[in-house]
């Protein structure tokens, strides 16, 4: 009885979480503009692929996510190593600054950057979007690399130097492999945050440069549009496929090492 | 060799794009066309804005409480040892976070619409339709729906970290399941609960998206008012002032909840 | 075993045919034993032998797949831990990190809704017992491992259990502290006069503290008895090997009082094994006497010598066996020596 209760509790929560997603997917194949089933169609998908605006938004989203997550990873990883060597008030100060973007509301980050760009007269467009995405991504990279550095045995680095490695070589061969998982996790977080971001992009986009979330927002405000359903279905399935693939790979790897 | 210098590019970056923009907000909130004044702050004292702020706090509070009430038992179930497929369930709880929150909220909007699926279903089985959309309830629902995983994960992590021997020790000393929960499990999971509250309350307090999609312009929260100042009314000074007030509120809330270190889980706990 | 003769009220816990399996692996295999009132019983065995599982079954944290746990004659198999008059000292103490020393110790008493003044008094008495007077308000983090250990003991004892279970409680302490705590634990046990069931893999610890030792391996009790009995009369090669260092050889019992091992016939004091039966022979290192070459029953070459404080430990290699020998006199490495083993020091065990 209690088992049954527990199971149904989880079932209800999952149902509520997935109901909208499932319906979105179903109606992306619906031959009716209204949410009443009228028959199967791929119209919305063809429409989506023929819509230059959507395609452009998609490309921009991807480009911004790639560039900003890579930049954030490089800056953030080096920053983490620098902060790791700092002590006392210096470290505290820098960490507080690092927490600011994490703790401030998205909307404040968005408008503060927007004001900066308008003050220095940087035209809104691709550069402003990339800069703002790098800015909110860096702290996540730092925070996922820092624990790795703390866990790392500093003697490893010293041992490498002792054995004749130059600092650069020691970094490449000793430190980097140790912090690698943190770096990858940081890049991954930065990438997903960038793809998902709406608020900061909303304030820092330029004319003609839309990201997908912004495109969806402007379409959604005009009312029900099944093309959005088609985009979301496609995006969600892609994400699931990627996640399942990486998970399978990881579990297979784990099995291999167990043997 | 000075390895601290590795942080220099980041320090420059954060000075330019974090510190300076924040200082700009402070500046604009006090200066109107080069003149120093408290005008923008005074304007905020008008009942309309105070009411909007109060309403934002209320809605964010309710959705945080609902999230907590629903998420805690779920996190308990997931961290317990009796469920065999809990990894799958955990993944299922996190998975929607990879789908754009905008899309999910939009999906609920189309579900809840007067001519939406739920009402069609109700009609189909001969029940009266319900007007879900555009109002406080729909906004709270949207907040809970969107930020729910942010509550589950930190609590789940905190519960997993509890040494099972502590629970056994409590049983051993004569505490039954309820007492053990009250005296051992709940206090030890508090860091996770605090993190969860912060991570739900803050975005809920400042959202303008959910209000727009599910409140339909009827519900004006503080986030919407800020957005309006920058997109429509173009009152930069007033927008900056509200942002300042919001930041101060957030800081106060954080100090009140203490434990800044528990926020380390914000990124790490999620992914 | 010997429980048939004992009066039932003499023992407090009676385990009857306890078996336990986790999925496919059997951890405990048909264990039957009893534990007397007020005795210090040690479950001794290598890691993975099932000793901790047995302790957890007695404590109520696991339930046996088969068999019964009788407590004062009543089956308590279905009783949850919080309804048993048994308390546990956990391996890593499991002190509540969010409470101070006083709150930890009084945890069980508060649940019983005991009077506050009385609780305070009992906490004080307990801290006195474990030599930590004045530590009431200290946080758990601020205590050393040894102090945490004492608090864990106090927290369990304050509930006045009939039986205290201790799961390798000294495992995390350093050697010197362990020795001190061993004596102290024994003292505490005598003072409070209740049954202690102690789990350890450290044979020396078991020998020092216990009234009774139950040696376990692969889910079975190999031997149960007093430390002296177990040391002097190990029942099988495993016990002999596990309790102290031993020379264990395969041999043949030619007839009563005569055994052949290492291709030499030895007189011994055992009988009743039958004729020409394969057996195991155990010789303790301290029971081998070193004499001049050709003066003993066996000859060998001293391969290594280690000074152990009171004695020297030597490895002496004979034609087919490397003997461990303890002696207060050192023979230099590389020297040829003879060895004497007297009949009472040859222990014969049935081959498993």
Residue scoring higher pLDDT (B177 or A157): B177
Same domain, C51 and C102: yes
pLDDT of the residue at C57: 92
What would the mean pLDDT of C306-310 be, rounded to a whole number?
84
The closest alpha carbon to C2, from C220, C213, C225, belongs to C225
CB contact under 8 A, A20 and B111: yes
Report whether A162 contacts A32 (CB < 8 A). Answer: no
Residue A193 contacts B, CB cutoff 8 Å: no
CB contact under 8 A, A14 and B89: yes
Is A171 part of any domain? Answer: yes
d(CA C181, CA C51): 21
pLDDT confidence bin for C302, thresholds 50/70/90: very high
pLDDT of the residue at B1: 38
Residues of the domain holding C166? 8-237
Report whether A229 contacts A27 (CB < 8 A). Answer: yes
Give SS3 for C155. helix
d(CA B79, CA B164): 11
Architecture of the B41-263 domain: Orthogonal Bundle (1.10)
pLDDT of the residue at A192: 84
d(CA B94, CA A182): 20
Q: Which residues of B touch C153 (CB under 8 A)?
A: none
Same domain, C197 and C306: no
Of C237, C260, C281, which closes a domain? C237
d(CA C282, CA C244): 11
CATH code for the domain in which residue A67 is found = 1.10.3720.10
Model confidence at C5: pLDDT above 70? no
Percentage, residues of chain B above pLDDT 70: 89
Of C237, C257, C278, which closes a domain? C237
Residue A70 contacts B, CB cutoff 8 Å: no
Model confidence at A213: pLDDT above 60? yes
pLDDT of the residue at A223: 66
Helices B117-124, B101-112: inter-axial angle, 10-degree rounding = 30
Is A66 part of any domain? Answer: yes
Same domain, C133 and C271: no
DSSP string, C315-343: EEE-SS-EEEEEESS---TT-EEEEE--G
> What are the structural domain ranges in chain B?
41-263
Distance from CA of C160 to the nearest CA of B (A): 10
Distance from CA of A259 to the nearest CA of B (A): 22
The closest alpha carbon to C223, from C206, C209, C208, C205, belongs to C206
Q: Which residues of B touch C94 (CB under 8 A)?
A: 163, 165-166, 168-169
Lowest mean pLDDT among B128-137, B243-252, C229-238: B128-137
Same domain, C226 and C275: no
Structurally, how many domains does chain C consist of?
2
Of C210, C237, C264, which closes a domain? C237
The residues, any chain, with a CB within 8 Å of residue C159's CB and separated by 6 or more, are B173, B174, C87, C108, C109
d(CA C212, CA C43): 9
> What pTM did the predictor assign?
0.78
CB contact under 8 A, B163 and C80: no
pLDDT confidence bin for A35, thresholds 50/70/90: low
Same domain, C232 and C294: no
Same domain, C231 and C256: no
d(CA B156, CA A255): 26
Lowest mean pLDDT among B40-49, C222-231, C282-291: B40-49
CB contact under 8 A, B168 and C61: yes
DSSP string, B134-157: SSHHHHHHHHHHHHHHHHHHHHHH
Residue B178 contacts C, CB cutoff 8 Å: no
Residue B114 contacts A, CB cutoff 8 Å: no
List pLDDT tens digits, range B156-198.
Answer: 988 988 888 999 999 989 888 899 999 999 999 988 898 889 8
Structurally, how many domains does chain A consist of?
1
Q: Which residues of B touch A112 (CB under 8 A)?
A: 21-22, 24-25, 243
Give SS3 for B176. coil
For residue B179, give the nearest of C91, C97, C111 by CB distance: C111
Burial class of residue C103 (count of CB atoms within 10 Å of its CB; 0-12, 13-18, 19+) = middle
Is C180 part of any domain? Answer: yes
CB contact under 8 A, A23 and B117: yes
Model ipTM value: 0.80
Residues of the domain holding A93? 60-211
Report which secondary-structure segment, H or E, holds C186.
Answer: helix C175-192
Same domain, C115 and C216: yes
Percentage, residues of chain A above pLDDT 90: 14
* Contact of chains A and B by CB distance (3 or more pairs under 8 angstroms): yes
CB contact under 8 A, C82 and B163: no
pLDDT of the residue at B107: 77
The closest alpha carbon to B100, from A113, A101, A24, belongs to A24
CA atoms within 13 A on the CB side of C312: 17
pLDDT confidence bin for A142, thresholds 50/70/90: very high
């Amino acid at each position: 009885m209690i088992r049954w209760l527990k199971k149904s509790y989880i079932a209800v929560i999952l149902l509520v979480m997935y109901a909208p997603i499932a319906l979105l997917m179903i109606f992306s194949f619906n031959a009716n503009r209204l949410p009443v089933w009228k028959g199967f169609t791929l119209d919305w998908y063809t429409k989506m692929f023929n819509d230059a605006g959507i395609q452009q938004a998609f490309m921009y989203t991807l480009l911004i996510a790639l560039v900003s997550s890579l930049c954030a990873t490089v800056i953030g990883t080096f920053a983490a190593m620098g902060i790791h060597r700092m002590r006392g008030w210096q470290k505290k100060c820098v960490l507080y600054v690092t927490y600011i973007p994490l703790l401030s509301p998205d909307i404040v980050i968005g408008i503060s950057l927007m004001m900066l760009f308008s003050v220095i007269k940087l035209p809104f467009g691709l550069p402003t979007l990339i800069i703002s995405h790098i800015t909110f991504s860096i702290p996540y990279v730092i925070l996922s690399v820092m624990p790795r550095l703390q866990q790392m045995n500093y003697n490893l680095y010293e041992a490498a130097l002792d054995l004749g490695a130059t600092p650069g070589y020691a970094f490449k061969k000793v430190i980097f492999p140790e912090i690698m998982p943190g770096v990858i996790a940081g890049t991954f977080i930065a990438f997903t945050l960038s793809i998902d971001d709406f608020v900061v992009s909303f304030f820092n986009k330029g004319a003609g440069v839309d990201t997908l979330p912004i495109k969806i927002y402007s379409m959604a405000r005009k009312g029900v549009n099944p093309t959005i359903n088609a985009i979301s279905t496609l995006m969600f399935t892609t994400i699931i496929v990627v996640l399942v693939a990486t998970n399978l790979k990881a579990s297979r790897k784990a099995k291999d090492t167990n043997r | 060799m000075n390895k601290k210098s590795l942080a220099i590019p980041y320090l420059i970056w954060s000075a330019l794009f974090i510190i300076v923009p924040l200082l700009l907000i402070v500046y604009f909130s006090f200066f109107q066309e080069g003149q120093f004044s408290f005008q923008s702050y005074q304007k905020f004292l008008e009942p309309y804005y105070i009411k909007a702020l109060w309403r934002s706090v209320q809605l964010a509070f309710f959705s945080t409480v609902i999230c907590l009430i629903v998420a805690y038992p779920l996190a308990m179930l997931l961290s317990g040892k009796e469920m065999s497929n809990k990894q799958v369930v955990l993944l299922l709880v996190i998975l929607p976070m990879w789908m754009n929150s905008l899309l999910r909220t939009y999906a609920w909007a189309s579900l809840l619409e007067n001519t939406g699926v739920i009402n069609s279903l109700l009609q189909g089985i001969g029940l009266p339709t319900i007007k879900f959309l555009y109002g406080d309830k729909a906004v709270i629902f949207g907040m809970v729906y969107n930020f729910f995983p942010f509550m589950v994960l930190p609590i789940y992590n905190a519960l997993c970290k509890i040494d099972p021997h502590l629970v056994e020790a409590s049983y051993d000393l004569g505490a039954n399941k309820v007492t053990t929960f009250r005296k051992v499990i709940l206090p030890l999971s508090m860091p996770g609960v605090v993190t969860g509250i912060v991570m739900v309350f803050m975005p809920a307090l400042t959202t303008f998206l959910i209000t727009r999609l599910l409140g339909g312009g009827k519900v004006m929260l503080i986030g919407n008012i800020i957005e309006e100042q920058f997109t429509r009314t173009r009152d930069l000074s007033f927008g900056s002032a509200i942002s300042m007030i919001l930041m101060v509120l957030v800081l106060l809330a954080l100090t009140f909840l203490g434990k800044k270190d528990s926020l380390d889980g914000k990124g790490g706990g999620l992914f | 075993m010997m429980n048939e003769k004992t009066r039932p009220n003499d023992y407090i816990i009676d385990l009857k045919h306890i078996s336990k399996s986790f999925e496919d692996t059997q951890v405990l295999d048909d264990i039957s034993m009893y534990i007397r009132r007020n005795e210090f019983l040690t479950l001794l065995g290598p890691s993975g032998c099932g000793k901790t599982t047995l302790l957890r079954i007695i404590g109520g944290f696991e339930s046996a797949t088969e068999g019964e746990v009788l407590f004062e004659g009543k089956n308590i198999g279905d009783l949850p831990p919080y309804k048993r008059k048994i308390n546990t000292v956990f391996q890593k103490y499991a002190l509540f990190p969010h409470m101070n020393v006083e709150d930890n110790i009084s945890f069980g008493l508060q649940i019983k809704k005991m009077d506050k003044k009385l609780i305070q008094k009992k906490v004080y008495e307990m801290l006195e017992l474990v030599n930590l007077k004045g530590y009431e308000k200290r946080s758990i983090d601020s205590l050393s491992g040894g102090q945490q250990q004492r608090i864990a003991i106090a927290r369990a004892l304050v509930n006045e259990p009939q039986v205290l279970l201790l799961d390798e409680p000294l495992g995390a302490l350093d050697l010197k502290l362990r020795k001190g705590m061993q004596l102290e634990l024994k003292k505490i046990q005598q003072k409070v006069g209740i049954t202690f069931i102690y789990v350890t893999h450290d044979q020396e610890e078991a020998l020092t503290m216990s009234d009774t030792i139950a040696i376990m391996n692969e889910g079975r009790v190999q031997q149960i008895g007093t430390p002296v009995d177990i040391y002097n009369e190990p029942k099988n090669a495993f016990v002999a090997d596990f309790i102290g260092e031993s020379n264990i050889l395969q041999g043949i019992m030619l007839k009563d009082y005569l055994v052949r091992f290492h291709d030499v016939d030895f007189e011994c004091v055992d009988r009743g094994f039958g004729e020409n039966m394969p057996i195991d022979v155990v010789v303790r290192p301290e029971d081998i006497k070193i004499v001049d070459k050709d003066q003993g029953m066996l000859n060998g070459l001293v391969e290594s010598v280690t000074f152990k404080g009171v004695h020297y430990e030597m490895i002496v290699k004979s034609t087919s066996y490397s003997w461990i020998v303890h002696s207060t006199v050192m023979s230099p490495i590389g020297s040829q020596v003879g060895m004497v083993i007297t009949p009472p020091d040859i222990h014969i065990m049935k081959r498993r």
